[in-house]
Structure 1
Amino acid sequence: MKLLSRKSITAATAVAVLGGLSIAAAPSQAASPAHRSTAAHSSTGVPDLTPRQLAELPLTNRHLTRHERQNLAVVLRDYYVAEGSHIDVPTFVSSFTEDGVFNDVVGGQTYQGEALGAVLPYMKGLFSDVHRDLRRITVNGDVISIELSIQGTFDGQLQSPAGVVKGNGHKVDAPTADFWYLRNGKVEKFDCFVGYSKMYSDMGVNWDWASAVGNH
């Protein structure tokens, strides 16, 4: 499998619209629905991605089947509605199957059903301008693997065992790996691995090693 040269695209360039999904050229700032790329659709009316839209993505393999393109369109839409400037919780939740789950693997949290609606507001509560910089995308049937960074400004509040950590304006750039598992065009399982050590360090939250040592 031939890898592309290093290229990234902000998740906000996946512009979701009622009739489908379009991909605009990747700007340095978050894009808005004002971008006017035309979305393609299959004969069944399911959103699809055009060759031009695919060319703007950091794909490891561009030879995707229609089924794979449609799965990718669903995932890109979920990234778009998770952007801090235009979070859309109902659209995110509706993309999951009835028994679909979101696993914050590193954090040890699982969300399902109505609880899925808490995922996006939580991140926005930390970083009001949260967005995901997609670095590398691999599509293999119903499985989509993505290397990305969660970025934003720590201007919210973090609930910690010691109390509330207030935002300080620090910029955050946390390495992340996402694995999406789809079934019949819906997300059955979403496993998210966030580099929390880097995220907390960027936020100015340091581990209390002395306290840990003193407990032994």
Structure 2
Amino acid sequence: MRDNEEIVREAYRLSEGDVLDGHGFRALFTDDGTFNDVPNSLTFRGDQIPLALTGFAAVFPDVHRELLAVHALGDVVAVELRIQGTHLGGFPTPVGEIPPTGNRIDVPTADLWYLRDGKIERFDCYNAANVLLAQIGAHPDFRSAIEAAETATAGA
């Protein structure tokens, strides 16, 4: 039986752009396992889990995760990493798709993996979504936020 760190390292291997095995990745999870993309408030459960990989790889097909530090603490594995890739696919947003820019991303990330009996029960990914968006040229629209707040305050 593999130890928890080996299972997590296998999960990263299966999610690399040149490997991308969503079914193999899913098989590492418990039946009711979850993948939580925390900054984007997205949760993938059970058989939805491979969608997290394929969706990201559609935007960044050469996705690579550079593992900087891996700490296995019983049934928890904490990983510091950088998610890297090239923006070659449309990036979906609530107001439309950001077309490919060809920009490289290098996103600081911290992942927490919770395992039970040799399977991943929960995976929480804390990626710096603001850094990723800036690197593909999607900067916050502060002017609109200020104008909306001023309009709301004036109407109150």
Q: Check whether TM > 0.5.
A: yes
Q: Which residue of 1 aligns with 2:30?
A: 97
CA–CA distance in 2 between the matches of 1:161 and 1:103?
19
Matches of residues 16-95 of structure 1 in structure 2 within 5 Å?
A: 46-47=1-2, 70-95=3-28
Per the alignment, residue 133 of structure 1 pairs with 66
Cα deviations across residues 57-86 of structure 1 (Å, max 9, x unaligned)?
Answer: xxxxxxxxxxxxx11111111000100111
Cα distance in 2 for residues equivalent to 1:162 and 1:110: 20
- The question of 1:182 aligning with 2:127 is answered no
Tell me which of 124, 142, 147 is aligned to 1:209: 142
Aligned residues: 149
Partner of 1:65: none
Report the Cα distance in structure 1 between the residues aligned to 2:56 and 2:95, rounded to whole angstroms.
20
Percentage of pairs with the same residue: 38
The letter for the 1-side match of 2:60 is: F
1:100-159 per-position Cα deviation (integer Å, ceiling 9, x unaligned): 111111111111111112011011011010010101111111110000010000111111
Q: Using the alignment, how far apart are the partners of 1:164 and 1:111 within structure 2?
A: 21
Instruction: Determine which structure has greater relative contact order: mean sequence separation of CA pairs < 8 Å that are 6+ residues apart, divided by chain length.
Output: 2
Q: Which runs of 5+ in 1 are unaligned?
A: 1-45, 48-69
| Structure 2: stretches of 5+ with no match in the other structure | 150-156
Distance in 1 separating the partners of 2:38 and 2:129: 11
Residue 94 of structure 1 and its aligned partner are, at CA, apart by 0.7
In structure 2, distance between residues paired with 1:161 and 1:120: 19
Runs of 4+ in 1 over 6 A off after TM superposition: none
3-state SS in 1 of match to 2:84: strand
**Which residue is equivalent to 2:50?**
117
Residue among 159, 167, 170 paired with 2:100:
167
> What TM-score comes out, normalization by structure 1 length?
0.67
Normalising by the residue count of structure 2, what TM-score does the alignment of the two structures yield? Answer: 0.93
**Which residue does 1:11 correspond to in 2?**
none
Q: How far has the Cα of 1:89 moved from its partner?
A: 0.7
Higher helix share: 2
How far residue 196 of structure 1 moved from its aligned partner, in angstroms, is 0.4
Read off the aligned partner of 2:26 and give its amino acid letter: V
Tell me the equivalent position of 2:86.
153
CA–CA separation in structure 1 for the residues paired with 2:45 and 2:94 = 25
SS of the residue corresponding to residue 214 of structure 1 reads helix
**Match for residue 192 of structure 1?**
125
Over aligned residues, Cα RMSD in angstroms? 0.9
